[in-house]
Amino acid sequence: MSIFGKFFGKKEKESLDKGLEKTKDSIFGKISKAVIGKSTVDEDVLDELEDILIAADVGVSTTLKIIDRLEERVKKDKYLNTNQLNNILYEEIAGLLAENKSTQVQDFMLPESIKPYVILVVGVNGVGKTTTIGKIASQFAQRGKSVVLGAADTFRAAAVDQLRLWGERVGVPVISLGMNTDPASVAFETVKKGVEVNADVIIIDTAGRLHTKVNLMNELGKIRRVIQKVIPEAPHEVMLVLDGSTGQNAVIQAREFTKATEVSSLAITKLDGTAKGGVVIGISDEFKIPVKYIGVGEKVEDLQLFNNQAFVSSLFSKG
């Protein structure tokens, strides 16, 4: 069994390592240079480290928290080389993620007591929202779960067509009423269909661009109300999709969406090819919402269930 858990094997770790390569090189290449010629971790090293973490989009607040923890460790002992500093950073960042609910390694499983399980997916256009839905649907389908998708992002033609293509590719039904139709009506029909076919999971795509936060709240509120006519306790999960390559813009989007609706999980996409993977640490710390999925490549299996230990070990070349 993998040291990271039952469902996180060698293949997943290799994909994660490759996807986080640029972030690792950016952060820890700079750390190595910062400690050259230093015999102890002093104030200059900590200042340099603070700049490096902020540049990697860890975020100011989270960076200061990490630096404070490092200062406490330095008071107790003197750390003489890069390897020791990396070990301390590894421990502190892993500990921070563990505090922020992103701790459990899960399979693509669903609560046994809830069927169908309804996931409402939110996020702005361009973050990979519809692709993420398709990949999640594919992974559920591969595990024998029945899935129904709802194309309720009716203001963007590409979103409806893209979800239909994913449905065909994965072999799951997609409920669509076409462009410029009422998103709540699509959500209602999707949940209704899911109940009729006894689906295991229903995933509903929602509009990625509404002009104001009030419009967003109203739209999502309306969707909630209509699906609750069919399943009173739905949605069981509201997932916010964020583009990790946008760094602090992803943080700003998270702030807006968490003000507008009750977000219960996060998916952070496009971490491959960017040096801004540190944003995962900052988002987890600021919002205290579990990071459930991360995207580290184009393939379906490159959408991984987030494993905090594996994530940090990839940054530090451990395990």
Q: Where are the beta strands (DSSP E) in the chain?
A: 117-122, 147-151, 174-175, 201-205, 237-243, 265-269, 291-295, 303-305
pLDDT digits (tens, 9 = 90+) for 243-257: 999 998 999 999 989
pLDDT in tens, 123-161: 998 899 999 999 999 999 999 999 999 999 988 878 899
DSSP structure class, residue 244: G
* C-alpha to C-alpha distance for 255 and 19, rounded to whole angstroms: 26
Is pLDDT larger for residue 115 or for residue 88? 115
pLDDT category of residue 308 using cuts at 50, 70 and 90: confident
3-state helix, strand, coil in the chain (%, to 5): 50, 15, 35
Q: Which of 48-57, 61-70, 89-98, 232-241 has the highest mean pLDDT?
A: 232-241
Of 113, 139, 103, nearest in space to 292 by CA: 103
Which pLDDT score, from 0 to 100, does residue 45 have? 83
Backbone angles phi, psi at 225, to 5 degrees: -60, -40
Confidence at residue 103, expressed as pLDDT on a 0 to 100 scale: 47
Per the CB < 8 A criterion, the answer to whether 92 and 67 are in contact is no
204 bridge partner residues = 120, 150
**92, two tokens:** 């502190």
pLDDT the model gives residue 43 = 81
- CA distances to 80, 91, 123, 158 from 36, in Å: 11, 22, 42, 51
pLDDT-derived band at 194, boundaries 50, 70, 90: very high
| Mean pLDDT of all residues in 55-80 | 84
Prediction pTM value: 0.91
